[in-house]
């Protein structure tokens, strides 16, 4: 695995751990970290293929174009990725609008599903999500 992909994958796992921890403290923070877990995981998957993106919107577009449309990921997983982006925007920039605890828990579940899909796509590179 390239150093970039390895770093992104570690960031993804770290962000998911922090999201789970933050849920009891701040739903906004937990949703944001869940989004970043998915963002880093998708970015690691693309990095394995030599694709590097500089914008969050480019990663989201690539998720739908390169993973969902050809059937690598389910449409539900693609919708989940977009849902995470929406929740992150609300949590980080929503002003008086905040992420609910229920939505933050949903975000963590979606992020976990995305990390598992990435790990399953390249088990020789990413191993099991349950490994440290």
Distance from first CA to last CA of the chain, Å, rounded?
17
How is domain 3-123 classified at the CATH fold level?
Answer: 1.20.120
Closest Cα partner for 109 from 16, 8, 6, 36? 16
CA 120 to chain centre: 14
Q: What is the pLDDT along the chain (132 residues), one digit of tens a residue?
A: 789 999 999 999 999 999 999 999 999 999 999 999 999 999 999 999 999 998 999 999 999 999 999 999 999 999 999 999 999 999 989 888 899 999 999 999 999 999 999 999 999 888 877 755
Under 8 Å CB-to-CB from 82, ≥6 apart: which residues?
60, 64
Q: DSSP 3-state assignment of 3? A: helix
d(CA 8, CA 15): 10
Residue 132 confidence (pLDDT) = 52
Residues 115, 13: contact at Cβ < 8 Å? Answer: yes
Q: pTM value?
A: 0.93
Residue 128 confidence (pLDDT) = 73
Residue 125 confidence (pLDDT) = 87
Residue 61 confidence (pLDDT) = 97
Other CB atoms within a 10 A radius of the CB of residue 29 amount to 18
Please give the angle made by the CA atoms of 21, 22 and 26, to the nearest 5 degrees.
155
Residue 1 confidence (pLDDT) = 77
């Amino acid at each position: 695995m390239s150093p970039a992909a390895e770093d992104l994958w570690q960031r993804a796992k770290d962000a998911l751990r922090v999201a789970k921890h933050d849920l009891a403290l701040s739903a906004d923070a937990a949703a944001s970290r869940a989004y970043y877990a998915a963002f880093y995981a998708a970015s690691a998957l693309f990095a394995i293929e030599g694709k590097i993106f500089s914008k969050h919107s480019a990663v989201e577009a690539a998720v739908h174009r390169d993973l969902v449309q050809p059937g690598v990921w389910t449409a539900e997983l693609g919708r989940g990725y977009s849902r995470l982006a929406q929740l992150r925007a609300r949590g980080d920039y929503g002003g008086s609008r905040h992420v609910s605890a229920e939505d933050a828990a949903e975000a963590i579940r979606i992020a976990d599903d995305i990390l598992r899909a990435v790990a399953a796509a390249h088990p020789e590179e990413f191993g099991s999500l349950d490994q440290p």
